[in-house]
Amino acid sequence: MIKTEKICKSFGEQKAVNEVSLTIGDNSIFGLAGTNGAGKSTLLRMFSGVLKPDSGKLNIDGKTVFENTHMKQEIFFLPDTAWFFRNATGEDMAEYYSMFFPKYNKKRFDSLMDKIGLDKKRKISTFSKGMKRQTALILGICAGTKYLFCDETFDGLDPVMRQAAKSILAYEVSDREFTPVIASHNLRELEDICDHVGLLHKGGVLLSKDVEEMRLNIHKVQCVIPDPADEERLLKELHVMQYEKRLSLLTMVVRGKRQEILEKIDEMEPLFAEAIPLTLEEIFISETEVAGYDIRQLFS
């Protein structure tokens, strides 16, 4: 488990991380969302023990990470720009990492490189940007560490390879003790893989919630209520987070249980009613507006 309590990190007068408190549970995929400059990369570097917090507490499995060699054997950090030795092949890098990570799985590395269609004996410098990111991710997964910290892992991957990468991560979580933390400026990148998502803005945490819990308790519904008085009563009786009216169609984002919301709408004898799945971005828009922020401005 990763636990932080009001950790801060500044570079000169620039405060990159400002009193961040987070709890990241084991065997789940945690998404760290935020605009460029929100503090995601700095936070991951502190998780990895590359940087030391200026203040606050940071513990992983109850231990500090900075200058803790034993703990670092359980952590693999993938920066936004993958680094490889000059003229190294994938096989060379796997051999190198196996010297530092006791549980490195070379057979798994060979298997994944083959399945993805990457030549482990080819120089990585000749790979495209996407191929380099795929290779880096495979190298990280095969390190056998408990924690994998990924900074913009899916950036530069085509849709097919992005889905393949997500599938590999999901399999690893189900197969062994493994906790990936994925930082991205794009909520859609985290949509179908993360169990829990935290939203950073200007170095602080705006929101940190379980994705499934949010989906079960926030719903988007559309309906046509013939009687304006019933429509007004409905808006008052439901926990409406936001709504808009276009001609006769009322679209609402409502907090509560789906069945109870639809039953309440049915009481108004609607001409039409349906529930529509919310995207992760729509959920966060609703949640952050309640907290007094407009996420559409943060990510525009």
Better-scored residue on pLDDT, 214 or 148: 148
127, amino acid identity: F
| CB 190, CB 200: distance < 8 Å | no
Residue 112, SS3 per DSSP: helix
Closest CA to 253 of 297, 214, 225: 214
The CATH number for 244's domain is: 3.30.70.100
- Domain presence at residue 195: yes
Q: Is residue 96 domain-shared with residue 71, that is, in the same domain?
A: yes
Q: What is the mean pLDDT of the chain?
A: 91
Q: Is residue 265 domain-shared with residue 133, that is, in the same domain?
A: no
The CATH number for 177's domain is: 3.40.50.300
Digit-coded pLDDT (tens) for 231-250: 999 999 999 988 999 999 99
Specify the pLDDT at position 242. 87
Q: Is residue 179 domain-shared with residue 228, that is, in the same domain?
A: no
Number of domains in the chain: 2
Residue 114, SS3 per DSSP: helix
205, amino acid identity: V
Last residue of a domain, one of 202, 226, 241: 202
- Domain presence at residue 33: yes
CA distance 3 to 59: 5
- Domain presence at residue 207: no
Q: Is residue 175 domain-shared with residue 223, that is, in the same domain?
A: no
- Domain presence at residue 183: yes
Q: Is residue 147 domain-shared with residue 280, that is, in the same domain?
A: no
H or E element in which residue 128 lies:
none
Q: Is residue 66 domain-shared with residue 197, that is, in the same domain?
A: yes
Q: Is residue 64 domain-shared with residue 115, that is, in the same domain?
A: yes
- Domain presence at residue 10: yes
Q: Is residue 249 domain-shared with residue 189, that is, in the same domain?
A: no
Q: Is residue 240 domain-shared with residue 142, that is, in the same domain?
A: no
- Domain presence at residue 208: no
Q: Is residue 132 domain-shared with residue 258, that is, in the same domain?
A: no
Last residue of a domain, one of 202, 231, 261: 202
Specify the pLDDT at position 290. 64
- Domain presence at residue 220: yes
Q: Is residue 180 domain-shared with residue 261, that is, in the same domain?
A: no
142, amino acid identity: C
Instruction: Tell whether the model's pLDDT for residue 295 goes beyond 80.
Output: no
- Domain presence at residue 128: yes
Give the confidence band of 297 by pLDDT, cuts at 50, 70, 90: low
Tell me the Ramachandran region of residue 6: left when phi exceeds 0, alpha when psi lies from -120 to 50, beta otherwise.
Answer: left
Highest mean pLDDT among 7-21, 148-162, 285-299: 7-21
Residue 138, SS3 per DSSP: helix
Digit-coded pLDDT (tens) for 22-46: 999 999 999 998 877 889 999 999 9
Q: Is residue 175 domain-shared with residue 38, that is, in the same domain?
A: yes
Residue-number span of the structural domain to which 228 is assigned? 214-298
Which tokens sit at 245?
């009216």
Last residue of a domain, one of 202, 235, 262: 202
Give the confidence band of 73 by pLDDT, cuts at 50, 70, 90: very high
CA distance 186 to 245: 29
Which tokens sit at 97?
């990492």
Whether the CA torsion 102, 104, 105, 106 is positive or negative: it is negative
